[in-house]
Amino acid sequence: MTTTDGRISLPLLPPDHPLGRSSITCEYRCGNACSHEAPNTSDNAYFGDVVRSIVSRRGMLKAGAVLAVAGAGVAGMAGTAAAHPDHGGHGGGDGRPRGPKGLDFTAVAPNREDRIVTPEGYHNSVVIRWGDPVLPGAPAFDFDNQTAAAQAKQFGFNNDFCGLVPFGHDRWLMVSNHEYTTESAMFKGFSQANPTEEQVKIGWAAHGLSVVVVERERRTGKLLPKVDRRYNRRITVTSEFEVDGPAAGSQFLRTTADPTGRKVFGTLNNCAGGVTPWGTILSGEENFNQYFANAGSVTDPVTKTRLTRYGLAGAASTRKWENFDRRFDVAKEPNEVNRFGWIVEVDPLEPGSKPVKHTALGRFKHEGATIQIARNGKVVAYLGDDERFDYVYKYVSKERYRPGDSPSARAHNKKLLSDGTLYVAQFTGDSPATEFDGTGKLPTDGEFDGSGKWIPLVSGDKSFVDGFTAEEVYVFTRLAADKVGATKMDRPEDVQPNPVNGRIYAALTNNTDRGKPGKEGPTEINPRNGNKHGHILEWEESRGDHTALTFSWKLLLVCGDPATADTYFGGYDKTQVSPISCPDNVAFDRHGNLWISTDGNALGSNDGLFVVPVAGRYRGYLKQFLTVPLGAETCGPVIEDDFILVSVQHPGELDGASADNPLTHWPDGGTAQPRPAVAAIWKSGCRIGE
């Protein structure tokens, strides 16, 4: 039921789309991925097969010393849950008890309001939005008179990941991904079947990344963008990239335009990312497959298998880019698609440098990449492949990180992602497979937990996968991971290490195909059939060593309506928590609390940003901090002590909406067209959540 102020009481009415998204979002962002067959049709071993003989935790611990070491960390990962959030916690100046640190706010209720809704006392403002100037000479945004030349100097469309690189006192270089364009929302009278060349080129310029200097205004708390002549930058579909690492120059990367296989123009569908310790930005190329046409005309069986595994099929693409650039036609340039699906590194501190595509981190639908420095100094990158039944990966560098920001140290560190070992994860549960019937009920031991191992795929020019050369592993990583029996997951998206406790957290967004006829059924780590709400995975590397080959894991959250039996909140009292659906991006505050943004709320509420403690008596006490406007997705959260940044992606992207019929006017109001934007949230004189 919707109240007069726009709030919604559970249970919410089901949205039109089974995952809470509009059909417009599905078409333009991922090429209707969920309406097609999942590309992973492999019959590789999975949890149920691996541990069917294990009938108890005791049995698991007897299975061998390695599993015993991996499982030993599990017991230390959970704290005792408290039934009521107002009992205990740190004290305030008035002597009254307080709740968990960083969560001192009243939770925002689920709602369908057409604005950013925050707790009482918090302010929000737009930092920068689509069409705002980035480069000197950028014209004022004119929706009805757009040009590709103007867009190439303006903030791009549908910003997702947002990262800050410190750049002086209260000054940062802000880097935003521009994941995709929604042409029907960008142009009045748009014909999807017959876009103009200028519309296509505007789309090219609206993709990519923006680098913008932002400053904090101390008087108001607002973050303000600056048109900085030296550091501001736009990277688009026509920008030159360097191909780096062991697959650079591969036969699979050579094209008519680039017979060397070492120079690529553009980056596509950049989703999440990370800020490296050496001050660069990592960005993941995700649903790149949808931009390429005529894969269905390929007849060579090997090439066809590879294309199909990466979700390429059919004839014309949605955007018809192939009409204006032959490289987007697979029949004409079969290798061009292999030049996308990588982790991209951009150095905002060196605006003249070329961005790099790192082949050592493998090729798949990268959500993003985040970095942890291991105790021995090696760099570890955690990676998720955002597809139904795909995998979690990690990369360990060959060389060690050099502290400091000297030119030589930075030059060295920027090569750490060029040479190392790529692994894929295999997860094992510690309860009998017969306990998982797809309803999401807890096993008899009271937790979803177990152990796991990292299976090596490739290192340098050495392949560890039978029948695959090293360059085949790098370029067709999904097929190599199938071969070694990686664990099929429910859309692994953002994967990040917690800087406070060192554990790693992954958002598994959803998988409505789980348990369907012919599809893999429930497992302890993916316990629900038709999983439309997703879950949060937590694991700890053995001995706290991020280069270790074994680990222990738990599910922190099994998302959805807390009133239903198929949800789990770390053992916390479910009557005290906020409902959450479809976790996407994760971040951490200085207390080690986990912040979660959502994508496609299948409960019917607007998407939002949530926070949950991961240890102690409040572990699992999830609270909603904000919601974004109608039709929007909450992306790229940046959690600072004094402010939060969120990317408000595709506002108003609702079924029936178009530039001719806008269904929201956020952020400018009146009769304005909706515009994706970065927004800042803060509380005057206070730290976030305190």
Structure tokens, 640: 């600072």
- Is the pLDDT at 561 greater than 80? The verdict is yes
Single-letter amino acid code for the residue at 224: L
> Strand pairing of 356-358 and 240-244?
parallel
- Is the pLDDT at 48 greater than 50? The verdict is no
Banded model confidence at residue 5, pLDDT cuts 50, 70, 90: very low
Banded model confidence at residue 34, pLDDT cuts 50, 70, 90: low
pLDDT at 36: 72
Mean pLDDT of 445-454: 98
| Percent of the chain as helix, strand, coil, to the nearest 5 | 15, 30, 55
Contact 531, 517 (CB under 8 A): no
Banded model confidence at residue 51, pLDDT cuts 50, 70, 90: very low
- Is the pLDDT at 27 greater than 90? The verdict is no
Q: Which residue in 159, 236, 237, 188 sits closest to 650, CA to CA? A: 159
With a CB cutoff of 8 Å and minimum separation 6, the contacts of 219 are: none
216 three-class SS: strand
Render pLDDT for 645-684 as a digit per residue (tens, 0 to 9): 999 999 999 999 999 999 999 999 999 999 999 999 999 9
Backbone angles phi, psi at 150, to 5 degrees: -70, -45
- Is the pLDDT at 55 greater than 90? The verdict is no
Render pLDDT for 156-207 as a digit per residue (tens, 0 to 9): 999 999 999 999 999 999 999 999 999 999 999 999 999 999 999 999 999 9
Single-letter amino acid code for the residue at 688: I
- Is the pLDDT at 382 greater than 80? The verdict is yes
Strands (E), 249-386: 263-265, 270-275, 281-285, 343-346, 356-358, 366-373, 378-385
pLDDT at 74: 35
pLDDT at 563: 97
pLDDT at 35: 64
**pTM exceeding 0.85:** yes
Strand partners, 504: 497, 539
Greater confidence (70 vs 41) lies with: 41
pLDDT at 23: 83
pLDDT at 28: 83
Q: Which residue in 440, 423, 442, 420 sits closest to 431, CA to CA? A: 442
- Is the pLDDT at 33 greater than 90? The verdict is no
pLDDT at 4: 37
pLDDT at 480: 98
Render pLDDT for 74-91 as a digit per residue (tens, 0 to 9): 333 333 233 333 333 333
Banded model confidence at residue 25, pLDDT cuts 50, 70, 90: confident
Banded model confidence at residue 93, pLDDT cuts 50, 70, 90: very low
pLDDT at 54: 31
Contact 637, 679 (CB under 8 A): no
Look over the chain and give the mean of its residue pLDDT values, rounded to a whole number: 90
Banded model confidence at residue 44, pLDDT cuts 50, 70, 90: low
pLDDT at 1: 39
Contact 644, 638 (CB under 8 A): yes
- Is the pLDDT at 436 greater than 70? The verdict is yes
- Is the pLDDT at 150 greater than 50? The verdict is yes
Mean pLDDT of 399-413: 97
- Is the pLDDT at 56 greater than 50? The verdict is no
Render pLDDT for 489-538 as a digit per residue (tens, 0 to 9): 999 999 999 999 999 999 999 999 999 999 999 999 999 999 999 999 99
Looking at the chain, the whole-number percentage of residues with pLDDT higher than 70 is 89
Looking at the chain, the whole-number percentage of residues with pLDDT higher than 90 is 85
Calculate the alpha carbon distances from 498 to 588, 609, 664 in Å: 7, 17, 36
pLDDT at 47: 38
Banded model confidence at residue 70, pLDDT cuts 50, 70, 90: very low
Highest mean pLDDT among 8-22, 25-39, 139-153: 139-153
Mean pLDDT of 471-481: 98
Banded model confidence at residue 307, pLDDT cuts 50, 70, 90: very high
Strands (E), 183-251: 208-216, 223-226, 233-235, 240-244
Mean pLDDT of 50-72: 32
Render pLDDT for 603-662 as a digit per residue (tens, 0 to 9): 999 999 999 999 999 999 999 999 999 999 999 999 999 999 999 999 999 999 999 999
